[in-house]
Amino acid sequence: MEVALEGKKPDSIIREERPLVDKNVTYIENSVDMIDLNQRVVFTADGKKLAYDYIILATGSVPDPDSIAGLRAASLNFHTSTEDSLKIWDALQQFRKGHIVLGIAGVPHKCPPSPNEGTFLLDDYLRKSGKRDDAKITFVTPYPRPYPAEAMSKVVEPLFQKRGIDVVTFFNLESVDPTKKELYSLEGDTLSYDLLIMVPPHRGADVIIKSGLGDKDGWIPTDKYTMNVKGYDNAYAIGDCTDIPVSKTGVTAHLEAKVAANNIISSIENLGQTHKYTGRINCPFEMGSGKAAFVVGSYEKPVKEIHPSRIRHVMKRGFERIYWRSLTGNLDWLLDTYFGATDIVENSKPTVVSSK
Ligand X SMILES: Cc1cc2nc3c(=O)[nH]c(=O)nc-3n(C[C@H](O)[C@H](O)[C@H](O)COP(=O)(O)OP(=O)(O)OC[C@H]3O[C@@H](n4cnc5c(N)ncnc54)[C@H](O)[C@@H]3O)c2cc1C
- Residues of span 280-339 touching ligand X by CB under 6 A: 283-284
Residue type, 236: Y
Residue 142 contacts residue 107 (beta carbons within 8 Å): yes
Instruction: Sheet with 195-199: list strands edge to edge.
Output: 166-168, 135-140, 98-104, 195-199
Sign of the four-CA dihedral 117, 118, 119, 124: positive
**CA distances from residue 236 to 172, 220, 253, 331 in whole angstroms, order as listed:** 33, 10, 12, 25
Binding footprint of ligand X, residue count (CB under 6 A): 23
By the rule CB under 6 A, 276 interacts with ligand X: no
Residue 160 contacts residue 152 (beta carbons within 8 Å): no
Piece of the chain touching ligand X by CB under 6 A; list 123-131, 157-165, 240-248, 268-276 = 240-248
Q: Of 56 and 184, which CB lies nearer to ligand X in the complex structure?
A: 56
Query: What residues contact 110, with CB distance under 8 A and at least 6 apart?
Result: 61, 63, 79, 202, 240, 248, 249
- Residues of span 78-137 touching ligand X by CB under 6 A: 78-79, 110-111, 114
Residue 171 contacts residue 51 (beta carbons within 8 Å): no
Residue type, 226: T
Residue 256 contacts residue 277 (beta carbons within 8 Å): yes
Report the residue from 249, 262, 263, 342 that binds ligand X according to the rule CB under 6 A.
Answer: 249
By the rule CB under 6 A, 251 interacts with ligand X: yes
By the rule CB under 6 A, 58 interacts with ligand X: yes
Three-state secondary-structure class, residue 77: coil
Give 87's Cβ-side CA count (13 Å radius): 13
- Residues of span 31-50 touching ligand X by CB under 6 A: 31-32
Report the residue from 146, 239, 297, 308 that binds ligand X according to the rule CB under 6 A.
Answer: 239
By the rule CB under 6 A, 258 interacts with ligand X: no
Provide the minimum distance between the beta carbon of 115 and ligand X in the complex, in angstroms, as a whole number.
Answer: 9
By the rule CB under 6 A, 222 interacts with ligand X: no
Angle, helices 150-162 vs 114-128, to 10°: value is: 20
Q: Of 254 and 275, which CB lies nearer to ligand X in the complex structure?
A: 254
Provide the minimum distance between the beta carbon of 247 and ligand X in the complex, in angstroms, as a whole number.
Answer: 8
By the rule CB under 6 A, 248 interacts with ligand X: yes
Percentages helix, strand, coil for the chain (3-state, rounded to 5) are 30, 25, 45
By the rule CB under 6 A, 253 interacts with ligand X: yes
By the rule CB under 6 A, 250 interacts with ligand X: yes
Q: Of 195 and 207, which CB lies nearer to ligand X in the complex structure?
A: 207
By the rule CB under 6 A, 240 interacts with ligand X: yes
Piece of the chain touching ligand X by CB under 6 A; list 55-63, 68-76, 289-297, 307-315 = 55-63
By the rule CB under 6 A, 259 interacts with ligand X: no
Provide the minimum distance between the beta carbon of 3 and ligand X in the complex, in angstroms, as a whole number.
Answer: 9
Cα separation, 164 vs 133, whole angstroms: 10
Q: Of 151 and 253, which CB lies nearer to ligand X in the complex structure?
A: 253
Report the residue from 1, 86, 220, 255 that binds ligand X according to the rule CB under 6 A.
Answer: 1
Q: Which residue is nearest to ligand X (CB)?
A: 239
Q: Of 184 and 228, which CB lies nearer to ligand X in the complex structure?
A: 228
Q: Of 18 and 96, which CB lies nearer to ligand X in the complex structure?
A: 18
Residue 19 contacts residue 199 (beta carbons within 8 Å): no
Q: Of 186 and 334, which CB lies nearer to ligand X in the complex structure?
A: 334
- Residues of span 190-209 touching ligand X by CB under 6 A: 205, 207
Exposure string of 309-324, with b = 16+ CB inside 10 Å and e = fewer, is eeebbeebeebeeeee
Cα separation, 315 vs 305, whole angstroms: 18
By the rule CB under 6 A, 163 interacts with ligand X: no
| Residues of the shown chain interacting with ligand X in the complex, contacts defined by CB under 6 A | 1, 31-32, 58-60, 78-79, 110-111, 114, 205, 207, 239-241, 248-251, 253, 283-284
